[in-house]
């Protein structure tokens, strides 16, 4: 586990394949996601803060929820509940919706709905620091858009909407790929996704976890589709 200090109130925990984040305010702290192989994310966070620690999941994919069992309650968009609990998820999911604000004490965090990668994917805007914690949809790595939970049209709509908000943040902190990345990545991903949808971007066959997928080299990232 690689622990990276971004600032006095922000840390990255990097497992190598995925990362999660600790944000602290004056009253409480928040973990954004809980790891893929890590089972003690809360314990690791407690080494960095004495504040009470809560958890928010950007979505329910298993590489973001490994330490959820440490928490009795956690925040998640309700569109993820089915996927989470059908996969054996533990704890009480507390709904968060588009526009909700979680205030850690002088640190408001605004929830932005980002459906597409999964139905209930969300990003978290750290209003004061102008950082966007994007989960999986905005990254320069390999974006999973294959399988029953993915929707390329919804993803394009989410990118369209996020492009109207770029005045609110300066840097993006994704769960995969490089970190941080610039907001110029958003229109690049949007353009590539639109080209995939209409058949303008050719793909190559690959296999992921025993599933045949098509890999589209989007330049800024690789989008994996059906």
In a domain, 216, yes or no: no
Instruction: Indicate if the pLDDT at residue 84 is higher than 90.
Output: yes
pLDDT digits (tens, 9 = 90+) for 116-148: 999 999 999 999 999 999 999 999 999 999 998
Contact 112, 98 (CB under 8 A): yes
pLDDT digits (tens, 9 = 90+) for 87-116: 999 999 999 999 999 999 999 999 999 999
In a domain, 224, yes or no: no
Question: 190 is written with which tokens?
Answer: 């949007």
In a domain, 51, yes or no: yes
pLDDT at residue 148, rounded to an integer: 87
Angle value at C-alpha 23, between 20 and 25, nearest 5 degrees: 165
pLDDT at residue 195, rounded to an integer: 97
Beta strands in 65-221 (DSSP E): 73-76, 92-95, 101-103, 108-113, 122-126, 131-135, 142-145, 171-174, 204-208, 211-217
In a domain, 220, yes or no: no
Paired residues of 124 in beta bridges: 111, 133
pLDDT at residue 178, rounded to an integer: 97
The total number of structural domains that make up the chain: 1
In this prediction the pTM is: 0.97
pLDDT digits (tens, 9 = 90+) for 54-67: 999 999 999 999 99
**CATH, residue 58:** 3.60.15.10
pLDDT digits (tens, 9 = 90+) for 147-206: 988 999 999 999 999 999 999 999 999 999 999 999 999 999 999 999 999 999 999 999
In a domain, 57, yes or no: yes
In a domain, 6, yes or no: yes
Instruction: Indicate if the pLDDT at residue 11 is higher than 90.
Output: yes
In a domain, 12, yes or no: yes
Contact 6, 12 (CB under 8 A): yes
In a domain, 62, yes or no: yes
Q: What does pLDDT average to over the chain? A: 97
Range of the domain at 33: 2-142+150-197
């Amino acid at each position: 586990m690689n622990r990276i200090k971004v600032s006095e109130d922000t840390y990255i925990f990097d497992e190598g394949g995925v990362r999660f984040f600790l944000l602290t305010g004056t009253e409480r702290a928040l973990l954004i996601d809980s790891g893929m192989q890590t089972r003690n994310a809360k314990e690791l966070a407690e080494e960095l803060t004495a504040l009470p620690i809560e958890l928010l999941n950007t979505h329910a994919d298993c590489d973001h929820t490994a330490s959820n069992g440490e928490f009795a309650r956690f925040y998640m968009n309700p569109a993820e509940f089915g996927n989470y609990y059908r996969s054996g998820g533990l704890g009480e999911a507390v709904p968060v919706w588009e526009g909700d604000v979680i205030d850690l004490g002088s640190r408001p965090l605004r929830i932005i709905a980002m459906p597409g990668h999964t139905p209930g994917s969300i990003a978290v805007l750290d209003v004061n620091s102008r950082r966007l914690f994007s989960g999986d949809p905005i990254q320069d790595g390999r974006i999973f858009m294959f399988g029953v939970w993915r929707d390329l049209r919804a993803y394009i709509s989410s990118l369209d909407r996020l492009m109207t908000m770029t005045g609110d943040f300066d840097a993006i902190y994704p769960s995969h790929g490089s970190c941080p990345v610039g907001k110029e990545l958003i229109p690049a991903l949007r353009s590539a996704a639109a080209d995939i949808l209409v058949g303008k971007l050719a793909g190559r066959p690959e296999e992921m976890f025993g599933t045949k997928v098509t890999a589209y080299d989007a330049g800024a990232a690789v989008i994996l589709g059906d």
